[in-house]
C-alpha cells in the first residue's frame, strides 16, 4: 500500500486515475490517542 492522502473530512475523491484501473483502498483513522487498526481493504474499479 502507498499512502495516497491525508484527509481531514469524511469525503475524498480520487482524481487522475485511468478508467478500468483497480484501486485498493484501506482507511486508517487517527486522533490524539493514536491510530486505529486499518479497515478491511476495499477494491474499487474506476468507471
Q: Is the pLDDT of residue 39 over 90?
A: yes
Measured CA to CA, the distance from residue 39 to residue 1 in angstroms comes to 13
C-alpha cell at 31: 486522533
Give the H/E segment covering residue 43: strand 42-45
The pLDDT, as a whole number, for residue 1 is 66
Rounded (5°) CA angle 39-33-5: 45
Supply the pLDDT for residue 46: 93
The pTM is what?
Answer: 0.66
Alpha-carbon distance of 39 to 31, in angstroms, equals 15
How far apart CA 23 and CA 25 sit, in angstroms, is 6
Which triple of cell numbers denotes residue 28?
486508517
Amino acid at each position: 500500500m502507498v499512502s495516497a492522502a491525508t484527509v481531514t473530512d469524511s469525503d475524498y475523491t480520487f482524481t487522475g486515475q485511468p478508467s478500468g484501473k483497480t484501486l485498493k483502498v484501506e482507511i486508517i483513522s487517527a486522533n490524539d490517542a493514536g491510530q486505529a487498526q486499518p479497515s478491511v481493504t476495499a477494491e474499487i474499479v474506476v468507471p
